[in-house]
């Protein structure tokens, strides 16, 4: 299943909604769509809701490839930060792992992992 997303009217907020089993192919395909989306404006914040992900089919090596693959759309679209909303423990662990890979690959890109949607506005105000 692909990752659906929507861009706010001002182009500065991307909300992504992966569902089902999330894998490397779906994730890279999502990055390709982001990279070519003309609605996204510089300084955008990406929010990824892992709420409806039932499982992660992503290995340690693939996690590294995900963060490397993300650099092109991030740089081209000037996405300033990513927030992972991870209510379940497995999603939180994957989110933290991806956060660490992002810190290594591109330390200028802010990645924050939160447990609930209630935390999003506080995080957005701090990034």
CB contact at 8 A, 14 and 34: yes
pLDDT, residue 1, reads 58
Residues 15-24 have a mean pLDDT of 93
Task: Report if residue 123 sits inside a domain.
Answer: no
Task: Report if residue 86 sits inside a domain.
Answer: yes
CATH of the domain at 49: 3.30.750
pLDDT digits (tens, 9 = 90+) for 45-75: 999 999 999 988 888 788 777 877 777 777 7
The set of residues, in sequence order, having a beta carbon less than 8 Å from that of 48 and lying 6+ positions away, is 16, 18, 82, 83, 84, 85
Q: How many domains does the chain have?
A: 1
Residues 88-98 have a mean pLDDT of 92
Inter-CA distances, 120 with 82, 94, 113, 114, Å: 11, 18, 10, 7
pTM of the model: 0.90
Q: Write out the residue range of the structural domain in which residue 64 sits.
A: 4-116
pLDDT, residue 12, reads 95
Residues 3-9 have a mean pLDDT of 97
């Amino acid at each position: 299943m692909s990752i659906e997303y929507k861009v706010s009217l001002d182009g500065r907020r991307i909300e992504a909604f992966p569902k089902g089993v999330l894998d490397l192919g779906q994730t890279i395909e999502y990055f390709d769509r982001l990279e070519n989306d003309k609605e996204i404006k510089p300084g955008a914040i990406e929010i990824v809701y892992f709420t409806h992900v039932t499982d992660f089919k992503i290995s340690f090596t693939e996690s590294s490839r995900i963060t490397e693959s993300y650099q092109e759309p991030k740089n081209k679209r000037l996405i300033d930060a990513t927030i992972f909303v991870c209510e379940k423990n497995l999603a939180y662990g994957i989110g933290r792992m991806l956060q660490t890979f992002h810190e290594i690959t591109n330390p200028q890109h802010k990645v924050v992992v939160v447990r609930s949607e209630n935390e999003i506005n506080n995080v957005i105000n701090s990034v």
